[in-house]
Amino acid sequence: MKLKNCININDLREAAKTRAHKMVFDYIDGGADDEKTLARNSSAFDDYELLYRVLSGVDSPDLSTTLLGQKMDVPFILSPSAGNRLFHTEGEYGPAKAAEKIGTVYSLATLSSVSIEDIGTATNGPKWFQLYVWKDRGLVKEMLDRAKAAGFTAMFLTVDLPIAGNRERDPKNGFTIPPKIGPKQVWHALNAPHWTMDYLFSPAIRYANLSSASTAATLNDFVAAQLDAGFNWDDAEWLLGEWNGPTILKGVVRADDAIRAERVGFNAISISNHGGRQLDTSPAPISCLEPIREAVSDKTELIVDGGIRRGTDVLKAIAMGANAVSFARPYLYGLAAGGTEGAIKSVEIIRDAIKRDMILLGAQKITDIDRSFIKSI
C-alpha cells in the first residue's frame, strides 16, 4: 500500500510490512511469548463505550493540554523507541520532526540510532530523554548531563525491562543491532528492495549514544550485559537527585507501585507494559488506569501508553483520568512505511481523529472530558 493511500494506522502498518525487511517489521510489530498482552493492549479499549452528548454546539474543539508544565497542541506524546534508523534511514529525525510539526513532545530513547546531541539540534520542539539504568553509574550520569546540555527537559525512567522479554519473532529472524547478515537476512532483503537499498547506501546502524565499537548482539544478550536488573527504589531516588528536574516513571501497572513512585518524588507515571513486549499476560494499561488514578493525588500526572490506534482510544483514556496518552508503534509504522513523511502522517491521522471524535462526543476542550462520557461494558 502506498503512503498516500493510508487513511488509518492499520493502513500504515500494512505499508510498513510491505516496505520493511521482515526482521525489522517483526521487531516493531511483535510482542512477548504468545503475544496475548500485545493483542489485549488494544482490545481492552473495547471494554468501554463513549456516551456522547448532543446539541453541544462544538464545531472547533480545543485539543491542547499541558503535561509536566509543557503546553502541547494535542493530548498525546511520542513514546521513546530504540534503533529507529533500522526501520528507515531517516531514523529518529522522522518522529522528532513529526512531534515538532504537530506541537507535542518527542521522547528520545537511550538506545537511539541518532545521538542525543544531533536530535537536540534537529528540532526546536519539546524533548524528553528516556533512560535505562546501566550497570556503569558513571555512564548514567554522563547521559543525563548530555541530555540536559542538549535541551531535554524531562527524564523518562523505564523500569519494566530488568531483562528482555521473550520476543520469539526476533530470534526466529536472527534480529540483532547492528544487523548481522546471513542467508535468511539476504532472502528477506530481496523481498524488501527499498529498505535494502537504504540500508546498503547509508552509514552503519548502531546505538549512537554508546561506543562506536558496539558489536552485533541479540537484545537478550545486550540487556543482560549492560543493564542493571538489581536497580531498586533506593536507586531510583538517587537518580531523581542526579537529574533534579521533571521525571516520569514508565512501566507501572500496579496502584501500590504508583503510590510509592509519587512518594519517592516522580512527577508523572506512564502506565505501560512495554507494548506487550515484556511479561505476557500482564494487564492492558487502560484497565490499570482508574485504580491508579484513585490511588495517587491529582498532582501526579498519568500517561497511558499501549494499544493506542484511534482517536476514540485517546478520548477514553482522558475520560478515565489520564492527563495524556503516548504511543510508539503508530509512528514507527509510519516511519518504516515512508520515513519522516510517514511519521508525520501517523500523528496527523490520530490528531485529526481526535478532533473529529471530540465534535461527535460533544466536548469543546480536552479538560471537559470526564468519567460521565464513559460506560463500562
Q: Please, where are the H alpha helices in 253-324?
A: 255-264, 285-295, 311-319
Cell numbers that stand for 360 in this block: 461527535
Q: Please, where are the H alpha helices in 191-273?
A: 193-200, 219-226, 233-243, 255-264
Per this entry, what is the length of the chain? 377
Nearest Cα residue to 328 out of 9, 2, 1, 6: 9
Known catalytic membership, residue 274: yes
HSE-CB at 282 with a 13 A cutoff on CA atoms is: 24
Regarding beta strands 65-67 and 70-72, do their DSSP bridges make them parallel or antiparallel, or are they unpaired? antiparallel
What are the phi and psi torsion angles at 247 (to 5°)? -140, 145
Determine how many CB atoms are found less than 10 A away from the CB of residue 4. 10
80: buried, middle or exposed (CB in 10 Å: 19+, 13-18, 0-12)?
buried
Per the omega criterion (within 30 degrees of 0), is the bond before 193 cis? no
| Catalytic choice (21, 88, 188, 274) | 274
295: buried, middle or exposed (CB in 10 Å: 19+, 13-18, 0-12)?
middle
By annotation, the residues acting in catalysis are 274
